[in-house]
Amino acid sequence: MASVDIVVPCYNYGRFLGDCVASILTQKGVDLRVLVIDNASKDDSLAIAKSLAAQDRRVEVLAHATNKGATFSYNEGIDWGSSEYFLILDADDALAPGALARAAAVLDSDPDISFTHGIETRLEANGAVRSLAARPNGPQVEVTRGLDFIQRLCRTPVNNIGANTVIRRMLAQKQAGYYRASLPYTDDLEMWLRLATLGDVASIRVPQAIRRYHASRMSVDYHQLRDFTEREAAFESFFANEGRAVPGAELLMAKARRGLGQHAYWSAISHISRGHGRIGADLLRLSHRWRPRAALLPPLQWILKMDRPLERAAEIVSEMPPFRRRIAAGKEGSGGPDRSAAA
């Protein structure tokens, strides 16, 4: 039976911690250990963690006197891990039933696979559940060569891999090393690139984890413009270090910047259409920086890369101010009676 070590970093998530750990301990078909790392929480997180450890010998607790940050905790978990496979699961999220056994079976079947990832389900604050990605047709597992995975991420530099679904081979993680504190928002993206230099990547095309959305998530205040520059930093870090030996590294870095520019263009159009002119203008300037020769040309090829483009377009229209929505629907002409009211 495969063994899996799961690290659960926690800061002020006591209200979610019990459900998170329960989703791990109820997994079947694997031997598992859980390490809850409490980052000096000010709520009852530590007390809950200790209670969980008292109830189940598979749970251990590491408590910090001061908040050392998520990246520090991730790296402590890497040092602690000693099983065949390894996962970092945020304390406000949960595993889908059967997730560990599915990933272990894939990793067991092919020693060349460095890590697996899967579909992430989103749990809204109101209790509604929806998938963050369309469930594709075809085989349940798709294996991609590591180099092909890196090339694909450079062509479409969007981190669509849910970190809570990534179950990696412990030996590969030890070889890849620590998460970089210099990348507080995209250290996971750079880690996927590093792990892909050590083996193949398996996509398990079923829900593997549940991401909880709530007001206190770190990503809530994450600025759109910063997202693009942080992603660029992740690719720069990778190709300056472990990715230097990847064939065509300079060309791939250039592709990543061009892809970021294409994405920034359409993100700018989205913001402008919803009345967010300032951030839209900033994103257009960023897009121009990464694709100066094509600054005025819409990157139509990016639309083909989007996940569920029609659904995304519908979301943008629904978020438009009413008068813009009427224009988009073709219900308001340039000289119609509503023009003065819209102004």
Encode pLDDT of 100-140 as tens digits: 999 999 999 999 999 999 999 987 765 555 554 555 666 79
Q: Which one is predicted more confidently, 173 or 128?
A: 173
**Mean pLDDT, residues 274-281 taken together:** 88
Instruction: Report the share of the chain in percent with pLDDT over 90.
Output: 69
Q: For the ranges 58-72, 117-131, 142-156, 243-257, which has the lowest average pLDDT?
A: 117-131
**Residue type at 95?**
L
What is the distance between the alpha carbons of residues 272 and 26, in angstroms, rounded to a whole number?
A: 46
Beta strand 3-10 with 85-88: parallel, antiparallel or unpaired?
parallel
11-46 per-position pLDDT tens digit: 999 999 999 999 999 999 999 999 999 999 999 999
pLDDT interval class at 238 (50, 70, 90): very high
What is the distance between the alpha carbons of residues 132 and 110, in angstroms, rounded to a whole number?
A: 27
pLDDT at 215: 65
What are the angstrom distances between the C-alpha of 64 and each of 6, 69, 78, 146, 327? 18, 10, 17, 36, 55
pLDDT interval class at 301 (50, 70, 90): confident
Q: Are 229 and 155 in contact (CB under 8 A)?
A: no
Average pLDDT, the chain: 86
Whether the pLDDT of residue 236 is over 50: the answer is yes
Residue ranges of the domains in the chain? 3-216, 224-328
What value, to the nearest 5°, has the Cα angle with vertex 31 and ends 28 and 34?
Answer: 100
Contacts of 111 (CB under 8 A, 6+ apart): none
Closest to 164 measured CA to CA, from 24, 281, 28: 24
Q: For the ranges 204-208, 327-331, 337-341, which has the lowest average pLDDT?
A: 337-341
pLDDT at 319: 53
pLDDT at 213: 80
**Mean pLDDT, residues 285-291 taken together:** 91
Burial (CB count within 10 angstroms: exposed 0-12, middle 13-18, buried 19+), residue 139: exposed
What is the distance between the alpha carbons of residues 272 and 292, in angstroms, rounded to a whole number?
A: 20
What is the distance between the alpha carbons of residues 242 and 262, in angstroms, rounded to a whole number?
A: 26
Q: For the ranges 13-22, 85-94, 186-195, 261-270, which has the lowest average pLDDT?
A: 261-270
Question: 163: which 2 tokens?
Answer: 């970190």
Closest to 316 measured CA to CA, from 262, 267, 259, 261: 267
pLDDT interval class at 303 (50, 70, 90): confident
Which CATH number is 3-216 given? 3.90.550.10
What is the distance between the alpha carbons of residues 133 and 343, in angstroms, rounded to a whole number?
A: 38
Q: Are 7 and 87 in contact (CB under 8 A)?
A: yes
Whether the pLDDT of residue 331 is over 70: the answer is no
What is the distance between the alpha carbons of residues 225 and 195, in angstroms, rounded to a whole number?
A: 27
Q: For the ranges 155-164, 201-210, 326-335, which has the lowest average pLDDT?
A: 326-335
* Predicted structure pTM score: 0.85
Closest to 46 measured CA to CA, from 3, 77, 11: 11
